[in-house]
Amino acid sequence: MSAQPDLLYSEEEEALRAAVRDLLADHGDAARVIARTESDAPHDLAAWKALSDGMGLAGLLVPEALGGQGAGHREAAVVLEELGRAVAPVPYLTSAVVATEALLAVGDEELLGRLASGRTIGATAVGLHTAPGAAVRTVHVEGGLLRGELPGIADAAVADVLLVPADDGGLYAVDTAAVTVTPQVSLDLTRPLATVTFADAPGRRLGDAEPALRRALRAGAGLLASEQLGLADWALNETVRYLKERKQFNRPVGGFQAIKHRLAQLWLEVVNLRAVARGAADALTRGEDADIAVAVAQAYAAGVAVHAAEEALQLHAGIGMTWEHPVHLYLKRAKADSIAYGSAGAHRAALAELVDLRAP
């Protein structure tokens, strides 16, 4: 077995967290996120520009020689924790992690440099629900022109370039100016999906789709756990904070043992999630034990994030049911995340093979 993973946060990682948190605080509160979801532009491109152009975070996974930061998954995971904590509507996971990993796999230096700068946003044209290694829907390619329709593409609405699997087994780069992007009414208001329609759109073949997508989706699944950790941590902390203030029966509601035990259980789940999320980020960074670490993280994280958001809603009670209170943003993101990059069940099925606990 491999060496023990480093499950802590380094000082640099804590400094990165603080910087991202400050930046997101400057870019508005939950009320603004909610207002934005009802506009034509649900994404916060000003925050994206500050994260990428300002801090260089879109290039964390890209080598310095190609215009990136040459950092690793551990640092990207910290960014995602904070983005999850803020349910920030920015295309970080889709562009700076998943699309970037696909481009690293095919070795397209030109696009990598553009994505690393953040001035170009990339999206992998694979349904958000797709688990690493799962079959994907493709478009038809003939003479370098793509034809077909791909639904469920996260953040396609703000993407400049799409990485598209075609029926010849290739992965193609397609300019979004050459396709039609139709927003879908999405459960997760802060990571909206779209259907992309290709009508003889010109594509440039980057390489083989299967290995590139497998790598990209594995990284996406592994680092999604850190986003889920951020969501869950917000839900727990915000609920604890609220229940110390909220009084009924002449007592703080958080003083009732039935509530305290639920919150303590939730704390325990979040503590466990932190360990598996750090484990996955560290394994991806080291390139060691990553298949198992990612599958463990995704088999565990979804349940915790959804549970945290559901508990937050129930324990906020009436106010938690309102559109005005942000808890619904977290619930919708957590529930969507439980499907994104493969459900917990899909990752458990993968583990059954990986650790030799096979089905009957």
Partner 1 sequence: MTDAAELRRRTAELLAAEPPADTDPADFLKARFDAGLAWVHYPEGLGGLGAPRSLQAVVDAELAAAGAPDNDPRRIGIGLGMAAPTILRYGTEEQKQRFLRPLWVGEEVWCQLFSEPGAGSDLAALGTRAVRQDDGDWVVNGQKVWTSSAHVARWAILIARTDPDVPKHAGITYFLCDMTDPGVEVRPLRQITGEAEFNEVFLTDVRIPDSRRLGDIGDGWRVAQTTLNNERVAIGGMRLPREGGMIGPVSKTWRERPELRTHDLHQRLLKLWVEAEAARLTGERLRQQLAVGQPGYEGSGMKLAFARLNQEISGLEVELLGAEGLLYDDWTMRRPELVDFTGREAGYRYLRSKGNSIEGGTSEVLLNIVAERVLGLPSEPRTDKDVAWKDLAR
* Alpha carbons 312 and 307: distance in angstroms, whole number: 8
Nearer to partner 1, 180 or 272 (CB): 272
Which stretches does DSSP call E strand in 137-192? 140-142, 145-154, 161-165, 170-175, 180-183
Q: Which residues, in sequence order, are CB contacts of 199 under 8 Å at separation 6+?
A: 147, 179, 180
Q: Which amino acid is at 133?
A: G
Among residues 59, 203, 279, 320, which is the contact residue for partner 1, using CB under 8 A?
A: 279
Does the protein bind partner 1 through residue 39 (CB under 8 A)? no
Q: Which residues, in sequence order, are CB contacts of 39 under 8 Å at separation 6+?
A: none
Nearer to partner 1, 27 or 307 (CB): 307
Part of the chain binding partner 1 (CB under 8 A), chosen from 21-29, 35-43, 49-57, 259-267 = 259-267
Nearer to partner 1, 76 or 277 (CB): 277
Taking the complex as a whole, how short is the minimal distance between the CB of residue 251 and partner 1, in angstroms? Answer: 7
Taking the complex as a whole, how short is the minimal distance between the CB of residue 291 and partner 1, in angstroms? Answer: 13
DSSP 93: I
Residue recorded with tokens 């967290």: 17
Nearer to partner 1, 76 or 299 (CB): 299
Does the protein bind partner 1 through residue 271 (CB under 8 A)? yes
Does the protein bind partner 1 through residue 274 (CB under 8 A)? yes
**Listed residue (84, 80, 89) closest to 32, CA to CA:** 89
DSSP 52: I
Nearer to partner 1, 61 or 221 (CB): 221
Among residues 17, 214, 278, 307, which is the contact residue for partner 1, using CB under 8 A?
A: 278
- Stated as kind and residue range, the H or E segment containing 197 is strand 193-202
Nearer to partner 1, 65 or 358 (CB): 358
Number of residues that bind partner 1 (CB under 8 A): 43
Does the protein bind partner 1 through residue 5 (CB under 8 A)? yes
Does the protein bind partner 1 through residue 28 (CB under 8 A)? no
- Stated as kind and residue range, the H or E segment containing 207 is strand 204-208
Does the protein bind partner 1 through residue 354 (CB under 8 A)? no
Does the protein bind partner 1 through residue 321 (CB under 8 A)? no
Nearer to partner 1, 178 or 253 (CB): 253
The contact set with partner 1 (CB under 8 A) reads 1, 4-8, 240, 243-244, 251-252, 254-255, 257, 259-261, 263-265, 267-268, 271-276, 278-279, 296, 299-300, 348-349, 351-352, 355-360
